[in-house]
Amino acid sequence: MSELLQFLFSGLTVGAVYALVALGFTIIYNASDVVNFAQGEFVMLGGMVTWFGHAAGLPLPLAALVAILATAALGVAINKLAIEPARGAPVVSLIIITIGASVFLQGAAQLVFDKQIHSFPAFSGDTPLRIGGATIQPQSLWVIGGALVVFAGLWLFFTRTLLGRAVLATSNNRLAAQLVGINTNFVMTLSFALSAGIGALAGVLATPITLTAYNVGIGFALKGFAGAMLGGMGNPKGALAGGFLIGLIEALTAGYLSSTYKEAAAFVVILLVLFFMPQGLFGRKSTERV
């Protein structure tokens, strides 16, 4: 029993990271129908920049803040320089562009930082808390709490603020949003900044547990995407639930089946979801207009 609890704790911890990545996907997907394959790199940058800043002598909170702001700025730059010029391009071109951005950021991270694995101290120490015979790292609570706070914040933003509603309106109908005076370019900029910032935050929170390196992004992207798809593409609630579910599935696979192939769990989930319920858990059917 305590063994199961232990697996659940670790599943919720990584699941929270995946949920944050999935939320990042969802924000950009809703604003622009673009699936941003570079989403995982934001997580990587969050961790790497924080490590770099901390190693250079900045206090950890400041390093983390710098990392989140710098990554958000980078997200905006990707939108301005690579996505906006290709508006109206076929889906395949957009996939290649965002994958290109992802590979580019990996390459840049190798050069600017290095190819080593890095970490920095946990925020509230390393003394594990004992709950029901299992233990949990205080940092795990930071990660899980972070995911929930971000979700709540997004929910408030999208339902309670004018700006958030403008983003939602743009996602429903870009042209109509333009007609009623919403600056859709600004909405896109905001979405990328928000999404990149959330990704970086995930990296900051998770690095003391999962460690970071220049090439960790693509794995986060894949699992975040699996979470978003499992929950139903474009649905924030689904992204949150889907992300946590992928984390739990992965942890249980690692615990009961094979720790080597826990990575395969996300992939198998993707295939099963596509096969049996392409709309995901909370998704709705889409109808294409002709």
Partner 1 sequence: MTLLSVEGLGIGFGGIKAVHDVSFKVAPGEIVSVIGPNGAGKTTLFNMISGVYQPGSGRVVLEGEDVTGMASFRLAQRGMSRTFQNLQIFQNMTVLENAISGFHLQERGPVLADLLHLPSSRRRARAAEAGARELLARVGLERAADREAGNLSYGSLKRLEIARALAMRPKVLLLDEPAAGCNAVETEEIDHLIAEVAASGTAILLVEHDMKMVMRISSHIVVLDHGEKIAEGAPAEVSRNPAVIAAYLGTEEGADADG
Partner 2 sequence: MPRLTAKSATLLVLAALIAVTPFFFPSGYYYRVGALIFVNGLAVTGIVILTGYAGQISLGHAGFAGIGGYACALAPTHLGLHPSLAGVLGAVISAVLAYLVGRPILRLRGYYLAVATLGFGILVAMVLNNERALTGGPDGIAVPELGLRGLLKDWGLDLTNGQFWYFFCGIVLLIGAWIALNLHQSPGGRALRALHGSEIAAGTVGIDVARVKLQAFVISAVYASVAGSLVALQNKFITPDIAGFMHSIEMVTMAVLGGAGSVLGAIFGAGILTLLPQVLTVLAEYEQLVLGLVMMLVMIFLREGLLPSVLRKLRGRGE
Residue ranges binding partner 2 (CB under 8 A)? 35, 37, 82, 85-86, 89-97, 99-108, 110-111, 218-219, 222, 225-226, 229, 260-261, 263-264, 266-267, 270-271, 274-275, 278, 288, 290
Coil, helix or strand for 57?
Answer: coil
Q: What percent of the residues of the chain are helix, what percent strand, and what percent coil, each to the nearest 5?
A: 75, 5, 25
In angstroms, what is the minimal distance from the CB of 16 to partner 2? 21
In angstroms, what is the minimal distance from the CB of 218 to partner 2? 6
The angle formed by the CA atoms of residues 158, 150 and 56, to the nearest 5 degrees, is 130
Q: What is the Cα Rg of the chain in Å?
A: 19
Residue 287 in the binding site for partner 1 (CB under 8 A): yes
By beta-carbon proximity to partner 1, the closer residue of 159 and 173 is: 173
* Interacting partner of 173 out of partner 1, partner 2, none (Cβ under 5 to 8 A depending on kind): none
Stretch that binds partner 1, among 11-19, 34-42, 240-248, 282-290 (CB under 8 A): 282-290
In angstroms, what is the minimal distance from the CB of 175 to partner 1? 11
Q: For the purposes of burial, counting CB atoms within 10 Å of the CB of 168, is it exposed (0-12), middle (13-18) or buried (19 or more)?
A: middle
Q: Which of 17, 86, 28 minimizes the C-alpha distance to 233?
A: 28
- Angle, helices 184-210/39-55, rounded to nearest 10 degrees: 60
* Interacting partner of 82 out of partner 2, partner 1, none (Cβ under 5 to 8 A depending on kind): partner 2
By beta-carbon proximity to partner 2, the closer residue of 143 and 266 is: 266
Cβ partners under 8 Å of residue 98, min gap 6: 34, 35, 36, 37, 38, 78, 82, 83
Give Cα 138 distance to the centre of its chain: 21
In angstroms, what is the minimal distance from the CB of 66 to partner 1? 44
Residue 290 in the binding site for partner 1 (CB under 8 A): yes
In angstroms, what is the minimal distance from the CB of 172 to partner 2? 19
Count of CB atoms within 10 A of residue 90's CB? 9
Residue 286 in the binding site for partner 1 (CB under 8 A): no
By beta-carbon proximity to partner 2, the closer residue of 27 and 229 is: 229
Chain residues in the site for partner 1 (CB under 8 A): 287-288, 290
